[in-house]
Structure 1
Amino acid sequence: MSKKRMILIISIAIFLLAAIIFIIYQPYNPPPEQTLDQTSYDTNADIQPTPPPETSLESSGDAKLIFVGDVMLSRYIGELMSKKNNYDFPFEKIKDYLLTADLVFGNLESPISDKGESAHNLYSFRTDPLAISGLKNAGFKVVSMANNHAFDYKMGAFIDTLDNLKLADIAYTGAGHNFAEAHAGALVEINGIKMTFLGYTNLLPLNVVASEEQAGYAYLNEAQMVKDIIAAKEKSDLVIATFHWGEEYQTQSNTYQKKIARTAVAAGADLIVGHHPHVSQEISEIDGVTVAYSLGNFVFDQNFSADTKNALLLEVEIKDKKIANITTKRIKFTNEFQPYLYSEN
């Protein structure tokens, strides 16, 4: 073997040995780790849970309503609230019970305003606007303004009362800034139940009846009442017709009350509630519809007889958007005219 060939073989061997050593001892560099797109997934990001479906309470079709009679927050009761600096005072003995209801309804027997001038009636009532907080805190959501004291301080206080109630989120019925509002009633939705409260009286002068051009009360005209009830039925699950009617201090309804009640039921009213006599009257049924002709007083400074010292309220249970049960409860009054639940037991 020639010397040149020997050198070539040795050179190739050295090169192969060097290549093997390089491969064996070359450090391993793994490919870059694949990173996840931080915009699509981040373990530190706030994860928003899927919102739950609406609670059944909001659309259950079930509710509890409480109906009371005349609420007058003027005269001696107004003086008591002012003296005690407590506008919840008239309701304190019964407030916890009232707040078990989804809605409380009553007849507001005094304007809530510091406006207007006295009509110089035998009895003229007007209530400090601050007193509206007591109504709201006691659970009142609807009141009737169709009564004979609505204009005790004339049109100025009447309109101001409507506006004050609206600001307090308390609906009113039986009155309005015009005819349409007065006769549409108060449409209220509670737990998915649409209810229209209608209110009427014929115990006020005709010059303050609501018209297209004038604010006023809903006058009790039988034919118009039927139209109102039919219209309300088209947009409501329940229609409650309320009336300021009857004769003061009479414990039995009269022929006119019975006639109007029959007409209202025939038109489609689901419940009828009355007030004005200041004493309770009988509760009856017409074609399965409960008619409470008068619940009597609720807050009123009239503890002068056995009849005015006793009154009623209605507890109405609604199931599946229908009236399922009505319970009558007796109430009495403290010496400071606070109503409280009364049981002979």
Structure 2
Amino acid sequence: MNKRSSRNKHHKKYQEDVKENKTYWKNAISIIISILIIGGVGFYFKNIKSPMDKKVEANSKISDVTKDIAEEEKKDEVIIKEPVKKTILISFAGDFTLGTDTKFGYDGSLPAAFINSGRKYSYFMQNVSSVFSKDDYTLVNLETTFTDSNVKAPKDGDIFYNFKGPKEYVNILTTGSIDGVTISNNHIYDYGKQGIQDTINALKENNIDICGEGYKILKEIQGVKFGFLGYTGWEYSNELKTKIINDISELKNQGAEVVIPYFHWGIERSYEPYDVQQNLARFAIDNGADAVIGSHPHVIQSMENYKGKLIAYSMGNFCFGGNSNPPDKRTFILQVKANMQDDKLVNFEYKVLPAMVSSRSDKNDYIPTLATGENKTNILKTLNELSPTLNGNIKDEFFDIKKVN
């Protein structure tokens, strides 16, 4: 084979190889372009939603927004609850002189009545214990000592008395459903420091609450805190006024919703209060007291509506061992109904239960008894006549008093 033929042969093969390469690359480029086109279209259709998809998604978003709004409104919603109402009943009575003075004869005395009853502690409160047992709390003035001491405290004046009863007489209070006592009075020191300490110990040992002489009662009744204070009110002094302010404030700060002080004051056998009593009572109310109770004159005194709050200046005697036959045997139980709403005081209503210190008229048998007939009528009439600011509303049914401008 000559050189020219060989060149032609090689040239032909070269042309065939070039043609084959062009075809290869052409096919490769076509495949790549197809892949890119197919991928792009898939991506497009994957991310472009149909109208139905858009509607479903829009509804879903609206539902989520509505749900969020509802949850926010639920958080802001004020839950309206029905107010919780309750009624709390407190009873007050006058002087409990559960003992005697050694100057008195034994016959006709309170200790003699106790022995003659067969030593029954329940003898004394037999006609009123049902009243006290049905209330929520009962507070009285304990005007005697429970002590075995024979050392009398010296007293001024020509006529004076030193009262005491044995320690066991505390059971007269417990069997009579008495819950608390004030000991601020002119007989609690009749047997000196020993006498008052014996009395306090006897009361504490029998779970009788104490107010007065440095003691305060803060009692939770049906979930509401009540405060009771005791004072002797012989003078309208700055010292006493400061103590009243501080004591009421202390009880209020400790959560007392109602605070009622019980004063021992006044002039014996006088049926109307004098200026010291009036000034102290009104001062106490002006500084947060919700009502004021009083005792000492041995007779009932007027009641007063002061700024819509009640003052009972003297409850009189009640179970009184200081006289075997007092000429005025009239007394009463004052009941205070505290109407509460959500444990806050709404108002007070009052009820007077006329009573006599004895179950018989010819002598004192030391059995306080609810009055009936003429005695009941007389007591209510007397209280209304003595109490012009009550507008004749004092009665043995619950009554409300309004603030007088």
CA distance in structure 1 between the partners assigned to 2:276 and 2:172 by the alignment: 35
Cα shift at 1:114 = 1.7
Equivalences for 1:49-198 in 2 at 5 Å?
Answer: 61-75=86-100, 76-84=109-117, 85-115=119-149, 117-119=151-153, 121=155, 122-175=160-213, 182=214, 185-198=216-229
- The equivalent residue for 2:354 is 330
Alpha-carbon deviation of 1:202?
Answer: 4.5
Tell me if 1:233 matches 2:252: yes
C-alpha change, 1:79 and 1:120, in structure 2 (3 Å) is: farther
Partner of 1:250 in structure 2?
A: 270
Assess if the C-alpha contact under 8 Å between 2:94 and 2:314 holds in 1.
Answer: yes
Give the whole-Å Cα distance in 2 for the aligned partners of 1:254 and 1:269.
20
- The 5-angstrom pairing of residues 311-330 of structure 1 reads 311-320=331-340, 321=343, 322=345, 323-330=347-354
Note the C-alpha offset of 1:253: 0.5
Q: Does 1:340 align with 2:340?
A: no
Q: Is 1:224–2:243 an aligned residue pair?
A: yes
Q: Would you tell me which structure has more strand in proportion to its own residues?
A: 1
Q: Which runs of 5+ in 1 are unaligned?
A: 1-58, 176-181, 205-218
TM-score normalized by the length of structure 1? 0.72
Match of 1:200 in 2: 231
After TM superposition, the structure 1 stretch with the greater mean CA deviation from structure 2, 286-295 or 221-230, is: 221-230
Over alpha carbons, which structure has the higher Rg? 2
- Judge conservation of contact 1:93–1:339 (CA < 8 Å) in 2: yes
Tell me if structure 2 keeps the 8 A contact 1:88–1:137: yes
Report the secondary structure of 2:337's partner residue.
Answer: strand
2:317–2:331: 8 Å Cα contact kept in structure 1? yes
**d(CA) in 2 for partners of 1:148, 1:115:** 18
CA distance in 1 between partners of 2:202 and 2:354 (Å)? 31
Report the TM-score, using the length of structure 2 for normalisation.
0.62
Deviation of 1:62 (Å): 2.7
Equivalent pairs counted in the alignment come to 265
Identity of aligned residues (%): 27
Q: Could you report, residue by residue, the CA deviation over 1:101-138 in whole angstroms, capped at 9, with x for unpaired residues? A: 11111000111122362125521111111111120111
Q: Give me the CA root mean square deviation.
A: 2.1
Q: Give distance in 2, aligned partners of 1:103 and 1:324.
A: 15
Residue 277 of structure 1 corresponds to 297
The verdict on how the C-alpha distance between 1:74 and 1:305 changes in structure 2, with shifts beyond 3 A counting, is: closer
1:268-307 to 2 correspondence within 5 Å? 268-301=288-321, 302=323, 304=325, 306=327
Q: 1 CA distance for matches of 2:148 and 2:217?
A: 25
Give distance in 2, aligned partners of 1:155 and 1:226. Answer: 27
For residues 261 and 296 of structure 1, the distance between their equivalents in structure 2, rounded to whole angstroms, comes to 17
Hey, what's the Cα distance between the residues in 2 that align with 1:103 and 1:174?
17
Map 1:1-12 to 2 at 5 A.
none
SS of 1:324's equivalent in the other structure is strand
Q: CA deviation at 1:326?
A: 0.8
Deviation at 1:292, TM superposition (A): 0.2
SS of 1:221's equivalent?
A: helix
In structure 2, list runs of 5 or more residues that go unmatched: 1-83, 101-108, 375-405
- 1:303 deviation in Å? 6.1
- Tell me, what secondary structure is at the counterpart of 1:195? strand
Per the TM alignment, residue 304 of structure 1 is displaced from its structure 2 partner at its CA by 4.3
Q: Equivalents in 1 of 2:329, 2:199: separation in Å?
A: 28
Structure 1 pair 305–126 and aligned structure 2 pair: CA distance change class (3 A): closer
- The AA in structure 1 aligned to 2:353 is K
Structure 1 residues 32-47: aligned runs within 5 Å: none
| Contact 2:142/2:182 (8 A) holds in 1 | yes
